[in-house]
Amino acid sequence: MIIIPAIDIKGGRCVRLQQGLMSKETVFSNFPEEMAQRWVDKGAQRLHIVDLDGAVQGRPVNAETIARIVKAARIPVELGGGIRDFATLKAYFDLGIAYAILGTVALKNPDFVKEACNAFPGKIILGIDARGNRVAAEGWTEEFAETPLELARKFGPFNLAAIIYTDIFRDGMRTGPNTEATRALARALDTPVIASGGIADISHVEELLQIEKDGVIGMITGRALYDGTLDIEEAIRLSVEFSS
């Protein structure tokens, strides 16, 4: 299972939000590319980047910052936030990202996601952000009646790279991951799942490693790394030992 550091971009800076609320941000760096380099130097194999402004506005907002991160990282980057059309999708792949995360557009224009999967097989990740058992979108400002499993099954026949499942109530709160909901989703699907939200320390990494066999291939962590309650090098070592 891979440990994926998160770099959330708002106003060109590296921030973390609490429960996805744009008004509850903590700034960790004015130079996100330097933060990316830090995680690379510590052994990260992939980075998770979100254009928070783009997610809310529905268009790329921090593309220049993202370009600097991709250049500095030298490892695969998965990117979400504001990708709603083919021009944006192609531009980001041309920029060098490895995976595009599609979330809101999956609810509002599912045909686009299916076409994207056909055009870029194995390069599209479906982002499912849940508040309880309901999917949220538009930078988590809108809630839909659809459940995470219902949304995931719509795209089951297509060549998704993975599904990122985020529990919004736990995101940035360091209260522990929603392991059971993540396990249940992974067991119900053939598509690999990446866990996100709530990781606070190494015990939560150990907890998520136990559901690797259920189809969970990675975990995204942000605030715990920035606050220092989780050592990424220790988390990576534990993951390697568990998988070996």
Across the range 149-168, mean pLDDT stands at 93
**How does pLDDT run across 45-76, given as a tens digit for each residue?**
999 999 999 888 888 889 999 999 999 998 99
The residues carrying an active-site annotation are: 8, 129
**How does pLDDT run across 115-145, given as a tens digit for each residue?**
999 999 999 999 998 987 889 876 566 777 8
Across the range 194-202, mean pLDDT stands at 94
Tell me, what CATH number does 54's domain have? Answer: 3.20.20.70
pTM above 0.85, yes or no: yes
Model confidence at 95: pLDDT above 80: yes
81-85-86-87 Cα dihedral, nearest 10 degrees = -80
Tally of domains in the chain: 1
Mean pLDDT of the chain: 90
In this prediction, residue 138 carries a pLDDT of 66
| Bridge partners of residue 7, in order along the sequence | 49
What's the pLDDT band for 104 if we cut at 50, 70, 90? confident
Residue 192: both structure tokens together:
């690999």
Across the range 157-178, mean pLDDT stands at 84
Q: Evaluate whether 177 touches 219 at the Cβ level (below 8 Å).
A: yes
Q: Which of 20-24, 66-70, 221-225 has the lowest mean pLDDT?
A: 20-24
Spatial CA neighbour of 3 closest among 228, 195, 227, 151? 195
What is the span of the domain harbouring residue 186?
Answer: 2-243
In this prediction, residue 172 carries a pLDDT of 60
